[in-house]
A = this chain, B = another copy of it.
Amino acid sequence: MTDNVQIMSKVQENKQFKREKLLSSAYSLFIRKGINDTSINDITENADVAKGTFYLYFKDKWDIQNKVIAEKSRLLFDEAIIDTNNKNINNFPDRLINILDYIINSFVENKDLIKLINKNLSMGLYDNNILDEQFGNIKESFENDLKEYNRKIKRPDIILFMIIELVSSCAYNSILNDKPMQIDELKPYLYSEIKKMIG
């Protein structure tokens, strides 16, 4: 029995390992060459795995793409919240700004990441529940903060939605194309508007 469990878990572990090799292979290729120019062949080759193996774990390229993005962006949101908690920021607006700033800075450091995530946001990511998950996380954090710091906002969900759209959309253009200006120059204006919104 113990043997069986151990054997099972050995196999299970191995499967998990393969799955992760594929995910990280896909991630690095998506970042490096873009999704359109990454073939499943590329992914498996890069993962040192047979081509057929891919189909044991993912349905097709869209499937692994969504999984990659879900994983990476969840990670990002989590980090942002942890960072904010670590800094012991104790008022609501600064907490929100810190979260957004952390995310923006991550994108600045990893421009391919914003390309990857954004590309997909616009390609129908909202159809499935990936954004909802992340959004869920930050929404919860946002509403906790509201309660904790005794803030009243009418329809906080809508405000948060608009804030995130504004930030991600502006960050995308500013970081990747310096439009309308470099992100560091843009930030003050951006954060100023956000503060108005949660005013």
A interface, CB within 8 angstroms of B: 118-119, 121-124, 126-127, 131, 155, 157-159, 161-162, 165-166, 168-170, 172-173, 176-177, 179-181, 186, 189-190, 193, 196-197, 199
Residue of B nearest to A196 (CB): B196
How far, in Å, is A72 (CB) from chain B's closest CB?
17
Contact (Cβ within 8 A) A155 B189? yes
Assembly stoichiometry (copies): 4
Given contacts A158-B181, A159-B189, A166-B169, 15 further A-B contacts (CB under 8 A): A122-B172, A124-B176, A126-B176, A131-B179, A155-B189, A157-B180, A158-B180, A161-B173, A161-B179, A162-B166, A162-B193, A165-B166, A166-B166, A169-B169, A193-B197
Residue of B nearest to A170 (CB): B165
Quick one: which of A119, A126, A161, A165 has the most chain B CB within 10 A? Answer: A165
23 cross-chain CB contacts under 8 A: A119-B123, A122-B122, A122-B123, A122-B172, A124-B176, A126-B176, A126-B179, A155-B189, A158-B180, A158-B181, A158-B186, A158-B189, A159-B189, A161-B170, A161-B173, A161-B179, A165-B166, A165-B170, A165-B173, A168-B169, A169-B169, A196-B196, A196-B197
- Judged by DSSP, the binding face of A is helix
How far, in Å, is A107 (CB) from chain B's closest CB?
14
- Cα A91 to Cα B101 with chains together (Å): 36
Contact (Cβ within 8 A) A161 B180? yes
Contact (Cβ within 8 A) B177 A170? no
Residue of B nearest to A118 (CB): B122
**Chain B contacts for A165, CB-based, 8 A:** 165-166, 169-170, 173
